[in-house]
Each structure stands twice: as structure tokens, then as C-alpha cells.
Structure 1
Amino acid sequence: MTRYKVGVVGCGFFGSSLAREFAAHPRFELTMLCDRDIERATEAAGEFGATPTNDHGAVAADATIDLVVVATPNHTHAEPALAALTQGKAVFVEKPLAVELSEARGMIECADTNGSTLMVGHIMRMMPGVRALAASVRSGDIGDVNAIETSRSRWIDTAGADPQWWKLDKSQTGGELTHEIHELDLMCWLGGDVDGVSSIATPEDGFRTTVVKFANGAVGTHTISTRSHTSSWDLTVNGSDGALRADFRTGLVQRFTGGQVVESWPIFDDADENQSLIDSATKTQKYNSGGGASSVWMQAAIRHEIDEIARVLDSGAESPLTADTDRALVVAQQVRLGQAEPADIRAAR
């Protein structure tokens, strides 16, 4: 059984969470950790017995490394990813693939040119209950899809945060629709090619609703908020013969027929992991700035993600981590640039 060597670029909150799970996984060996702050890289590398560096080029150039993981701030993904892809390495980029669509397309083209594997960390695709929901949709269990609704509305506590922190800078995050692209991604992943977009937001962009017209005639609606005093976090797919709904606040997926629940299953199979998801979804949220471990459910989702990475590296098989990696980013950029005409969307595809 092949054991793949990994280099992680970016040792902030999520980079450290990824590194922790790669180091513990039987199919991977964490060998190098990179951060522009060499002290942070050295501290993290000491925890895992890896080599520290502040040069992502050294990670890309290391002939022993099979997989490069990019977990730097959103607007800096392209450079380390391109360096590794050019060397023919497999690359896993934390979501979103990029802030600018042109950079995302550049990574995709570079991977194709060099025969490299490019994967994107749309981690909610890896939740077991969501994967089962997607499989049910694709098998035709609910008939032809006619509407998809997603939402993530909650209150983000930014009290005491450094005003210069990159997660508060839209030029670095791409804005909330891009930074928290998970639910928009689920909608676009399940909905298919996009023909048109419209969007409306409050003046401070604390509430935004985006409507997507899919090429197959279905309609998608996505609502996102960081200033909502109530919360919602869900995905609903309506079809001609039924519907499927994942509610992350209850940790449950339900199948409906004729307005009645006919089947249900948990989002995580493990009860503790599912309860951790419920607990996280129902409390006031903060953006994570680094240090400490992520929640039980997030670490579980990362493990599912890493299992899938191993499967892709073993076989080169099609995967939720490699499919339609920029589709939601097309929508997010169109909204950000105020381009909502179908012709603009088709040109961006």
C-alpha cells in the first residue's frame, strides 16, 4: 500500500488542522510545513516531526513530495499551487480555489498541461450524509431536479479582531459569498451548468440572496448572512418526484414524498461527530484565527476528505474533489463584479 509524502503550505488555523490529520493518517507522511512566518512553520513542524520552510518553492521542488496542500489566505492560493502543479505534483487547494476566476482557470489549465491532479477542499461534499444525498439526486430518486435552495445565515462575532486581519478584508477573501462558498458550491455542484445569475444585498452586504438559473431549467436560491440574529444552515433539493433536505442544525438528511418524510439519515454516521456539528451550528460563530484544534465534526470531515484524496491518488478516479472545481466561483465572481446577464455567465464557463 503506497504511503504518500505531503507538504503543507500555510500553517494557520486550517492549515494546522489539515496537517494534524495528514500526520495521523496511515496513507500519508507529513514531511514539510511551509509558512511565510518561519517561526510559525518551525513550531508546527516540531509538533509533527516535519521540515520547516518559509519558501513554497522548496516544497514544490522537493522530489520526494507527492502531494502539496495549499492552505494560505484565499488571495494567495495561485502562486504555490502553480509552482507545485508545474512540477507535476498532485495539489489540494483549500476552498475557494482562488479569489479571481482567472487565477482559478490558470490552475486548472496548468494541471491539465502538466498531467497533474488538482483537488479543491469543498469539504461539505465529503460529509457522509451529503454524499448520500448527492448520490440519491444523481440516481434520479427524486426525479428531475427543479429547484435547489441553500442557506447559511448566522451572527459572526468579530469583536476584538484585528482590523488588519485578512479575513476582514474583502480584497483578500473575495467577500463572504466567496470565502464561505460551501453552500453555493453544493447548489452549483448538484445543479449543473449555470445560465444566469441575479443577486440582491443589504447596503453593508450583511444579507445577500443570489438566484441562479441552471442550464437544465432548474432554479437555485442561496441566502447568506453574517449579521442574522437567527440562524439557518441547510440544503434542499426539490424534484418532480420528491425532495431531499440536509439541515446542518439538526444533523439530519430527510427524504420527502408528497410533503411527508419517508426516510432520514444523519449527516455524520458517528453520533459524537454529528452532535458536534449540531452544537457548532447552534452557537454564535467566530472566524478562526489560528492555534488550537478545530471542532470534532470538522476534523471528522477532514478525515473523510483525506480518505478521498488517497483514493484519487491511488486510482486517478473522478471525485467530488476534482469535479466542477470553479463552477460556484463563476457565480460568486459574477455577483461580486455585478455581472448578472446570462451571456456573461456563459462566457465565463
Structure 2
Amino acid sequence: MGAKVRPYLFYDSAVSVCATCLRRVEAKILIKDERVYLEKWCPQHGRERVLLADDAAYYRQCREVYVKPPELPQRFNTPQHFGCPYDCGLCPEHMQHSCLTLVEITDHCNLRCPICYAESGPHRPGFRDLATVERMLDAVVANEGEPDVVQISGGEPTLHPAFFAILDAARRRPIHHLMVNTNGLRIAREPDFAARLADYQPGFELYLQFDSLREAVHRDLRGARLREVRLKALEHLNPRHLHHAGGNGEERAQRPRARRDHRLRPDPALRAGRHLPADPGRRPPGRLRSGTRPADLERGAPAHPRAEPAVPAR
């Protein structure tokens, strides 16, 4: 037996992409100190190690115990030509059907959220026409037969001039559960808009942007003060018994008006590295002080509150 031992357990091989040049690269899944890492090597940019999971035992259960045969789509959309990830779309090597499909009908939005992964905003005009959206919905149905969940998304989808025609088109198709991803501004400002949404129940739900009731959080995540907008949106939705996912458990515990709203289901946040400076090899901190900015994390000093516009609820 050799005298030297590597300081980790080798768990599996994988295929990944270089974070710098996006070239397809070989990778290894490693376990060290009860954490799971993906170690990649690019001929041009060298090695990179990123954290996959901070609970190795649970990760292994997911890989080895909580598994089932993959559910295939009704059809595949792209041929195999270059291999993963370049044939994505779904190609025959894809191991799962679309359990949740996003149909993006616009890149336009009425907020400028600093963390928006789609980089939507008022600066991105344009809407996909109704015929194009219907073809997108038809493709989803052709793939899935009877899709489980379809989310109408954007940008801010409620700004689309044919928004309700798009919901009608989705309702004419065999979609089990229809959702709309929305920041809630139009719902807060137009009570009749919320009333019309209620007509699409049952099997209809809003995926409501509801990070907090604290303006410091809105400032950091959304670039505007939105407390009154959030409360007004709930005021218009609740009498109509519209179910809406969104929000977080901390806010519901601290704020009576949010705690009374039994239709507001907390949804966990995904930290994708756009809000805070991220070390790919470490888990981000669990909680930050209100008003903490990325530059302040680097300096180790608290931030000075910034003046952000309050978005009117009317």
C-alpha cells in the first residue's frame, strides 16, 4: 500500500463546463470534511473546485437511496450532435421530463432588480406575440402530453398586452396546474386585475415575489421600496382566495398581516451569486444584517442606507 493518501474521498466522475470559458471539461465529485465538491480541470484555466452540498450524508442518500427510474418526455427536441451541454433542448440523453416548464413571454419589466438572473427591466422592451406563445405552449404539450406545471413568466408577464389571451390559450390545453410569476405591482394597483385572475381557478396559482416586508431587504434585492405594494397585493388577493406561493417564514412569523395569510406559502430562496460576493467553494452566510452591501462585506463594515424610490401601490 502506498504511503500517500489523497485528503478526500473520490465519489464519482462528471462532465461540467469551465466557469471562465464555458468549455466542456472533465470533473470529479469529491467528499471532504462532510462536504461534497465538484473539481473541474480546464486545459486553459486550470482547476476549479465548487461546493455541491454541505451535507455529504444527505447528498449520498439522494444519489443512492431516493432514486427512481427517469420519466421520459413524449418526444425529444434536439438531436445528439456535440454532446452535453451543447445539445440541450431536450436531447435523447436527457434523463428527465420537464416537471415544471417556464414559458417566458417578455423580457420587459417594471422593476430593476439588481439580482435578476434574466437581466429584465424597463430597458428591455418587446413582447412575444400571441401566435409565438401558443407555439411554445403547443411544444410543451407535445413534449409532456399533459404537463404537470406550467409557469407563465418574463420579465413581468402581467405587462404583456395579450396577457389574458395567453392565460386563455394555456387553459385550452391539458395543463394540470397553471402559474404566473409576478412581482405583484399590477395586482396591487388594479383590484379588477386581481378579480379577473381569480376566474382562472381552480388549478391556478400566483408565484408572487414576496421577499420581505422590510424596506432594507427590498432596497438590496429589488432596488425600490415595496412594502406598501406587497401589502396592497395581499389585500386584493385574499378576498378572492387566490393561492400564491412566495414570501419567507421569518417574515410570516414577525408580521401579523403576513402570518394571517394562509394562502401565502413560504418558498426557499436560491442564492445564485448575484446579490453577494460568492466563494464557489464555500456556502454563503445564512443571514445578513439589513442594508449589508457586497462592498461592505469585503471591508467588514456596515453599509449606509441608500435612498431608493418608493413604488406607489396605486
Identify the TM-score tier after normalising by the shorter chain. Answer: under 0.3
Larger % of strand: which? 1
| Structure with larger Rg | 2
Larger % of helix: which? 1
Whose relative contact order is higher, 1 or 2, with alpha carbons under 8 Å and at least 6 apart? 1
TM-score by length of 2: 0.28
TM-score by length of 1: 0.26
